[in-house]
Structure 1
Amino acid sequence: MSTPAPRRRPAAHRTGAVLAAVVTLALAATACGGTTKDSAKDDDSARTSGAKADPGAKTKKGLTVAFLPKQVNNPYFTVADKGGEKALDELGSTYKETGPNSATDTSGQVSYVNTLTQQQVDAMAVSAQDPGALCTALKQAMKNGVKVVTYDSDTKPACRHVFVSQSGAEALGRTQVQLLGEQLDYKGEIAILSAAQTATNQNTWIGFMKDELKKPKYKNMKLVETAYGNDDAQQSFQQTQGLLQEHPKLAGIISPTTVGIKAAAQYLSGSKYKGKVRLTGLGTPNDMRKYVKNGTVEGFELWDPAKLGALAAHTAVALSSGQITGRKGETFSAGDLGRFTIGDDGVVDLGAPTVFDKANIDKYRF
């Protein structure tokens, strides 16, 4: 299968994108559990290849950094990647974006990784659709000298140098349950409307959601189903309808995906369930503003996707400049975002999510 060449945005477009990318907040996390101490050491060795970091190394210019989101026409990734584009412009390096049009095209994403490796880009920032499917291709990229950063959704730790996480996975999973619990007074049947079944970040959050629900204060809340809308608006809309038909006593829905929560809100707002079935999860203020104001949604949360993309870009440049290798404890500067420290399994956290409701949603425009 031939793979389309990555599209390079012209300078004039990049300038417009920079202005358009003054955005803030969304939400995601890592899926790097399940390793033993020995395997973690192996992963660390695979990522760093014995290299030593030089924090004082000069930041390289003229690098080529490619962004490979799960889906190029997804509004969330458009914002995130524009944040990366802006950061690379400021760092004096070149931005590319490429990727599939479908959030479930795993084989297509592998093809794009292979193409970028053949093109000898200096670094790539990848939002992994499947934690295992990309590993072989990403390892080959690293063997060829490409610095690999994952952002938003991780692969296996041995298959990249650093994962840039929106926030700690545990915090993201638990806070969504906490929000819905407060809205429901901790009573009733609930469901989860996720993206793809293989989405690393979604599955990690859902794992922490289920663990949170085991706490005594949730004894009267019951998770009855997890549905998948594949980050497609129509499928997510239909899945919401199906959940409500299948579970007539459903009291609340958590959708940890910006596409899913918007589609669910659209369905609820035009149905008899508006104001009766609570909805929360991860969304953008611009998508959710009208649903908060018309009473469909009480509150939801997110991090800043533009800042996530910018941090991914800074991380890629720091790796390419030799300032970091991906080992725990290494630190690097990310411009106006501040200074960051690499944690366990080569993970860097952007920060805590923000909760949006009627009181503050008009303060945010993204």
Structure 2
Amino acid sequence: MNTKYRALVPVLGMSLILTGVSASFVATSATAAPKLKVTYIPKNLGNPYFDAIVKGFNKSAKGLNMTVKVVAPAQAGATDQIPFIEAAIQQKVDAIAISPNDASALCPTLKRAMKAGIIVLAVNGDVDVACRQASITPVDFSLLGKYLVDQTASVIDGKGDWAFLSATSTAPDQNGWLVAAGKYIEGGGQPGLKLVDTVYGDDAPEKSATEAQALLAKYPNLKAINAPTTVGIAAAAQVLSTSPLKGKVQVTGLGTPNQMRQYIKDGTVKSFSLWDPSVQGSLAANLIATMKAKNLKPKAGVKLAYKGVGPEKWTMGKNAGIIAGPPQEFNAKNIDDFNF
């Protein structure tokens, strides 16, 4: 699925604020700024979460004189994204945005891209800081581990056996959350919970469903499965929805409202969470345009303002990291208020 999003509309209303200094960038015609060629490489194809990021890219590209080419491997393997990075380098794109499957395996190729003058952004996860100019993450990942443990406690009244059903064993984002969750548990967080296992569905629906079924069979006292991945949570919910254990074992974690709506409404799932992934795509597109137009060097303290994109204002943190926005809990009361 090599999808190309094209836009010929001029850059409008994009503003940049550098610490203590304000500057705006407004083009009055499509020829006022060169067309930008961007390649976005999600973790894998067919993942609704990354489709939402693409929508954000596409939405902002329309006003930024930007084309966004979306390419990705079929599976979320540690090195499967490398050929797509190499192709983008050969095509001499202006920028590569990537949602990394591995924190280190991609670095040599990403460094070659930057050496060739290509902007490199990590989106939704991160790589070594020497391998990209900036990163855009959906939430403060250092807090998300605790959030997931507390989330599990909330759906099983604070006590019982539970398990993580994660993405791939090399996924930098999920792995960071699991480590933080472990530290929170070791420090005495939610003492009524017992984490009995952590398994990996590789962000593949069939394997995620198989792993969920195995957890149910292996742990007769299991009370909850927390899947911090949109593929995993939907697969686990599907398994429970037709199981005699429906209602006895809870599924929670991170998923999109459109994926999970049926499982909220049929009583399989009490609640789950996510953020709007499209904000990351919109923010990435605007940041790329700003970096090209203003020769911006991302660093801690740089302030950005993009009207109509999420909270509209951000400050780059340590290592030029940007946090797009906080998580949103979804339940039977509000699930129909969201469409992504």
Same fold (TM over 0.5): yes
Q: What TM-score do you get using the length of structure 2 for normalisation?
A: 0.90
Please list, as runs of the form range in 1=range in 2, the aligned pairs for 1:133-172 lying within 5 A after superposition: 133-172=105-144
Q: Which runs of 5+ in 1 are unaligned?
A: 15-51
Name the stretch that deviates more: 128-137 or 217-226: 217-226
Shift of 1:173: 2.1
Bigger relative contact order (CA 8 A; separation at least 6): 1
Contact persistence 2:7–2:67 (CA under 8 A): no
1:343 is aligned to 2:339: no
Contact persistence 2:79–2:101 (CA under 8 A): no
SS for the counterpart of 1:336 is coil
Contact persistence 2:139–2:324 (CA under 8 A): yes
- For residue 69 of structure 1, what is the aligned residue in structure 2? 42
Task: Provide closer, same or farther for how the CA distance between residues 243 and 354 of structure 1 changes in structure 2, counting only shifts above 3 A.
Answer: same
| Partner amino acid, structure 2, of 1:8 | K
- For residue 278 of structure 2, what is the aligned residue in structure 1? 306
Contact persistence 2:149–2:190 (CA under 8 A): no
Give CA deviations for 1:137-189 in whole Å, capped at 9, x if unaligned: 11111111101111012111110001000010023222121121122222111
SS for the counterpart of 1:203 is helix
1:8 is aligned to 2:20: no
Shift of 1:234: 0.6
Contact persistence 1:138–1:160 (CA under 8 A): yes
Alignment partners' CA distance in 1, 2:306 and 2:76 = 29
Please list, as runs of the form range in 1=range in 2, the aligned pairs for 1:257-276 lying within 5 A after superposition: 257-276=229-248
Contact persistence 1:53–1:324 (CA under 8 A): no
- For residue 213 of structure 1, what is the aligned residue in structure 2? 185
Contact persistence 2:39–2:96 (CA under 8 A): yes
- For residue 215 of structure 2, what is the aligned residue in structure 1? 243
Shift of 1:9: 3.8
Alignment partners' CA distance in 1, 2:142 and 2:89 = 33
1:352 is aligned to 2:326: yes
Choose which of 178, 191, 195 in structure 1 pairs with 2:167: 195
Contact persistence 2:114–2:120 (CA under 8 A): yes
Please list, as runs of the form range in 1=range in 2, the aligned pairs for 1:222-237 lying within 5 A after superposition: 222-237=194-209
SS for the counterpart of 2:80 is helix
Contact persistence 2:152–2:224 (CA under 8 A): yes
Please list, as runs of the form range in 1=range in 2, the aligned pairs for 1:178-193 lying within 5 A after superposition: 178-193=150-165
Contact persistence 2:39–2:95 (CA under 8 A): yes
Shift of 1:360: 0.5
Structure with a larger share of its residues in helix: 1
Task: Provide closer, same or farther for how the CA distance between residues 216 and 345 of structure 1 changes in structure 2, counting only shifts above 3 A.
Answer: same
Contact persistence 1:72–1:100 (CA under 8 A): yes
Name the stretch that deviates more: 93-102 or 156-165: 93-102
Shift of 1:235: 0.5
Name the stretch that deviates more: 187-196 or 317-326: 317-326
Alignment partners' CA distance in 1, 2:104 and 2:93 = 22
Contact persistence 1:53–1:322 (CA under 8 A): no
Alignment partners' CA distance in 1, 2:294 and 2:115 = 16
Alignment partners' CA distance in 2, 1:296 and 1:267 = 10
Shift of 1:221: 1.2
Shift of 1:315: 1.7
SS for the counterpart of 2:75 is coil
Give CA deviations for 1:239-297 in whole Å, capped at 9, x if unaligned: 00001111111111110000000000000111011111111100011111111111111
Percent identity reads 37
- For residue 123 of structure 1, what is the aligned residue in structure 2? 95
| Partner amino acid, structure 2, of 1:56 | A
Shift of 1:335: 3.0
Aligned-pair Cα RMSD in Å: 2.2
Give CA deviations for 1:175-231 in whole Å, capped at 9, x if unaligned: 121121122222111100000000000001111211222343522211111000011
Please list, as runs of the form range in 1=range in 2, the aligned pairs for 1:275-290 lying within 5 A after superposition: 275-290=247-262
Q: What TM-score do you get using the length of structure 1 for normalisation?
A: 0.83
| Partner amino acid, structure 1, of 2:261 | R
SS for the counterpart of 2:55 is helix
Contact persistence 1:131–1:200 (CA under 8 A): yes
Contact persistence 1:194–1:229 (CA under 8 A): yes
Aligned residues: 323
SS for the counterpart of 1:100 is coil
Alignment partners' CA distance in 1, 2:130 and 2:328 = 31
Name the stretch that deviates more: 174-183 or 263-272: 174-183
Give CA deviations for 1:66-107 in whole Å, capped at 9, x if unaligned: 111111321211111121011111112221111211122x33
- For residue 89 of structure 1, what is the aligned residue in structure 2? 62
